[in-house]
Amino acid sequence: MRRRGLPALAGVVVLGALAAACGSGTAGVRSAAPASIATSTTAAGPPTSPAASPYGAFALTGLPVNDPALALRPALSVKVDNAGPALPQSGLDTADIVTEAPVEGGLTRLLATYQSQDAGSVGPIRSVRPVDADLLDELNGGIFAFSGGAAGEIAPVRGHSGAILIDNDAGNRGFTRSADRRAPYNLYGSTEGFYAEGTRVARKLPAAPPQLFQYSWSPQPGTAAGGVSLTWSIYRSAGWTWDAPSGVYQRSQDGAPDTLADGSAVTATDVVIMSTPIRGTGIFDAAHKEDPFVVVTGQGDCWLMRDGVLVQGHWVRPSTYAPLKLTDASGKPIALKPGRAWVELLPLGLHPGFS
């Protein structure tokens, strides 16, 4: 659904100095990566023991590197719909990090970020949102696949995300339509296809992403908690429940188990919840619902769930180009367990319910 609004979010999205605009979808590219982008042929699951890799750890999971070429490639982020008609989704089980953020109408949308693993099918893919630029800044931009958006929604990613933009509405390659669903909930792609398209259109590829979180195999001090419930609105809620035998959190959405198109459960090793301010954008959909601007700079409360333990803390990110830091009540860094993470951006004033 198209939105109408301001051509740019003046005074809202410009949270740091704007990078120079670029042509051919290469805004603000920072540095080069190898010309040939590797793709993984098998999913790299958690190791049976925390054995060190001679190549170090992946930046976005903290897990040992099984293929150095994968660790050197840029991050690839894909905008995935999370509305009812878009379910079940595909490809979320191999994303290193999935970030859930509120959108208009009380719903949420996902940013699935890949580097250490690939996905043969990701989607349904939908339009960009203003917060995406600030999230991509943390990744050295990387490659960003999406399907259009209002002018004010696309302006931030073009202006300062540093990402190679792969836009279905702009005629970029790598997108396919599924005959099993109706539009606009039938647009998909693969990580291999998007990496190939990013290489084709880019003058230079962004560098590999930096490490976003601190990781440690050692348990973090906290309180026992078996789960959490999150409510964005009367239209969207989610929950995570600790499953000790498998060592992961299992996700529910709107009161039902959250599963993917292949029937597998949506899971994560770590669940990071950030309390984030919300500002207006002046961008409205056809039902006159305003697109919220989710503020991921500044500071606020945060919560980490790992190993069945809840760690309460504080997040700080001074600017869109600064790294995110998580600290506990004593000011010490909070460390995630190496593995795949979900980041839940919960509007300020709403509170997670722990059990």
- Going from the C-alpha of 37 to that of each of 77, 111, 118, 148, the distances in angstroms are 15, 21, 12, 25
Residue 207 amino acid letter: A
Q: What is the CA radius of gyration of the chain?
A: 19
The closest of 149, 200, 195 to 170, measured between CA atoms, is: 149
pLDDT at 51: 72
Beta strands in 172-226 (DSSP E): 175-177, 187-189, 214-215, 223-224
For 34, list phi and psi in degrees, rounded to 5: -55, 140
The C-alpha atoms of residue 108 and residue 345 are separated, in whole angstroms, by: 10
Peptide bond into 88 cis (omega under 30): yes
The closest of 338, 346, 344 to 258, measured between CA atoms, is: 344
Task: Convert the pLDDT of each residue in 312-333 to its tens digit.
Answer: 999 999 999 899 999 999 999 9
The closest of 66, 72, 43, 41 to 53, measured between CA atoms, is: 66
For the chain, how long is the longest CA-to-CA vector? 54
pLDDT at 41: 55
The C-alpha atoms of residue 26 and residue 54 are separated, in whole angstroms, by: 33
Dihedral of CA atoms 46, 121, 136, 242 in degrees, nearest 10, equals -40
pLDDT at 171: 97
Q: Which residues of the chain have pLDDT under 50?
A: 1-35, 42-49
The C-alpha atoms of residue 99 and residue 136 are separated, in whole angstroms, by: 11
DSSP readout, 137-179?
A: HTTTS-EEEE----HHHHHHHHHH--PEEEEGGGT-SSEEE-T
pLDDT at 226: 96
The C-alpha atoms of residue 188 and residue 91 are separated, in whole angstroms, by: 10
Mind listing the domains of the chain with CATH numbers? 68-201 (3.50.90.10), 214-354 (3.50.90.10)
Q: How many CB atoms lie within 10 A of CB 85?
A: 11
Q: Look-up: residue for tokens 């001679």? A: 54
Tokens describing residue 65: 């590197």
The C-alpha atoms of residue 98 and residue 94 are separated, in whole angstroms, by: 10
Tokens describing residue 46: 């958690």
pLDDT at 250: 98
The C-alpha atoms of residue 80 and residue 77 are separated, in whole angstroms, by: 9
Task: Convert the pLDDT of each residue in 245-302 to its tens digit.
Answer: 999 999 999 999 999 999 999 999 999 999 999 999 999 988 899 999 999 999 999 9
The C-alpha atoms of residue 161 and residue 337 are separated, in whole angstroms, by: 28
